[in-house]
Amino acid sequence: MEPISRRRLLIGGGTAVTLATVAAVNWDDTSRLWWRVPGVDKPRKDGEVDHRGAHWIAASEANLRSADRPADYVIDRVVIHVTQSDFRTAVKVFRDPLHASAAHYVVRASDGRTVQMVRELDVAYHAGNRSYNERSIGIEHEGFVDRPQNFTEAMYLSSARLTADICKRYGIPVDRGHIVGHNEVPGADHTDPGPHWDWKRYIRYVREARDASSGSGSGSSGKASPGKA
């Protein structure tokens, strides 16, 4: 993310002028500030992902709200979901403008392939709670809450690397107070991830992934890239 220089907003004797005036004077210097004007999106590159190893498939813009997190909303939660559908269907409905919801990520059961559908700076409608949507990143896992066989080792490991990466980038503690199930969101009427989601194992994997990436000293966000196939 580029730092925003306040000096860009000052002209002549230090007089603050409106963005529109500055833009008229020099579009090149100020175009990157346009997202700060209400109703104007921050520029973003097509296909860019926040997690190394994720593959981009855009959700419908109707299922999210453009934002500039963590500048406008602090990100301090990861919300764990289970899709109650197969992977393909989950991706499809998040692309549907009438679906009214989408998560930032969807992880596939068979191999842990991770698709990012909403940028982390944006607010995805996944938690059924406005304040939790604004403060969290939502991860969907392919499967059904009553089918424990859906929760594969590959999916746990891949998702744990993703959550470890998110926690590291936003300084979120790796614990059950900050990594929560959709069912634990206040007011949520959903039961996912359900009784078969192995929280102990998952948190252990997230801690291991976090420790592995911080121990490498490489500064890379992901230890490995899941689901390259």
Q: Which is nearer to Zn ion, 116 or 213 (CB)?
A: 116
Binding of residue 52 to Zn ion (CB under 5 A): no
Is residue 142 involved in binding Zn ion (CB under 5 A)? Answer: no
Between 142 and 192, CB nearer to Zn ion: 192
Which among 16-24, 77-85, 93-101, 114-122 is the span making contact with Zn ion, rule CB under 5 A? 77-85
Whichever of 22 and 103 has its CB closer to Zn ion, that residue is 103
| Cα distances (Å, whole numbers) of residue 168 to 53, 114, 210, 219, 228 | 16, 18, 7, 11, 23
Is 190 one of the binding residues for Zn ion (CB under 5 A)? Answer: yes
Residue labelled with tokens 């929560």: 180
Distance (Å, whole) CA 38 – CA 35: 7
State which of positions 143-182 bind Zn ion (CB under 5 A).
Answer: 182
Task: Indicate the residue among 81 and 108 with the shorter CB distance to Zn ion.
Answer: 81
**Neighbour-count burial for 162-171, b at 16+ CB within 10 Å, e otherwise:** bbbbbbeebe
Residue 192 near Zn ion by CB under 5 A: yes
| Nearest Cα to Cα of residue 137 among 164, 157, 97, 156 | 164
Minimum CB separation of residue 190 from Zn ion in Å reads: 5
Helix axes 153-170, 199-216, angle to 10 degrees: 60
The nearest distance, CB 188 to Zn ion, in angstroms, is: 8
Min separation Cβ 88 and Zn ion, Å = 18
Q: Which residue number, 143 or 222, has a Cβ lying nearer to Zn ion? A: 143
Nearer to Zn ion, 85 or 225 (CB): 85
Contact indicator for 207, 198 with CB cutoff of 8 Å: no
> Closest distance between Zn ion and the C-beta of residue 83, in Å?
8
Report the residue number, 22 or 117, with the smaller CB distance to Zn ion.
117
Q: Calculate ∠ Cα 35-91-119, nearest 5°.
A: 20
Stretch that binds Zn ion, among 21-29, 78-86, 93-101, 129-137 (CB under 5 A): 78-86
DSSP string of 149-161, one letter each residue: GGS-HHHHHHHHH
Residue 81 Cβ vs Zn ion, minimum distance, rounded to whole Å = 3
Residue 191 to residue 83: CA distance in whole angstroms: 11
Q: Does 119 bind Zn ion (CB under 5 A)?
A: no
Cα dihedral 118→121→127→133 (10° resolution): -150
Residues forming the site for Zn ion (CB under 5 A): 81, 182, 190, 192
